[in-house]
Amino acid sequence: MLDEVLNEFQNTFSVVPAPAAFARLLAAILLGAVIGMEREWRGKPAGLRTHILVAVAACLFVILGMEISHLDFGGNGEQRNDPLRMIEAVTAGVAFLAAGLIFTSGGKVRNITTGASLWLAGAVGLGCGAGQMPLAAMATGIVVVILVVLRLLERWLGTH
């Protein structure tokens, strides 16, 4: 049984190699951070953390779409599921839930990062369901580190 589990983590990247996936996730972090910093400096509700989460989730959804499209959903004449519709269904449902968390109180928008992290959790769940546990784990580790580090940075800068 342990061999099956280890095999699941070693042989899951069929389209985008693990190092390329990691590089793409890092690029999404950096570019999302550039946009987020500008929003942070202007004191907007969706700042650094939120933009990074959304960029990483979107990157993860695209990589997953590429990987899922190579899964076997049946041969010719058999019922086929559209892997991109699966992603679309999850993103729409999670976005609805995330939007419900975001509210305005006392003139401030609250829980927007939580909404973005929920959206990202949807991408992570899709990754696990598609057998892309290493990719989902990479994204999860990156995002948790970013959330913790940026929270410390915000406290140090006095912006949050």
State the Cα–Cα distance between residues 16 and 86, nearest whole angstrom.
19
Per-residue model confidence (pLDDT) at position 108: 76
State the Cα–Cα distance between residues 145 and 78, nearest whole angstrom.
44
Q: Locate 123 and state its tokens.
A: 């991408």
**pLDDT 10s per residue in the chain (160 long)?**
888 877 776 777 788 888 888 899 998 888 888 878 877 776 766 778 888 888 888 888 888 888 877 776 666 666 556 767 777 887 887 777 777 777 777 777 777 887 888 788 878 878 876 778 888 889 888 888 888 898 898 888 887 6
Ordered by start, the domain boundaries in the chain are: 17-71+82-157
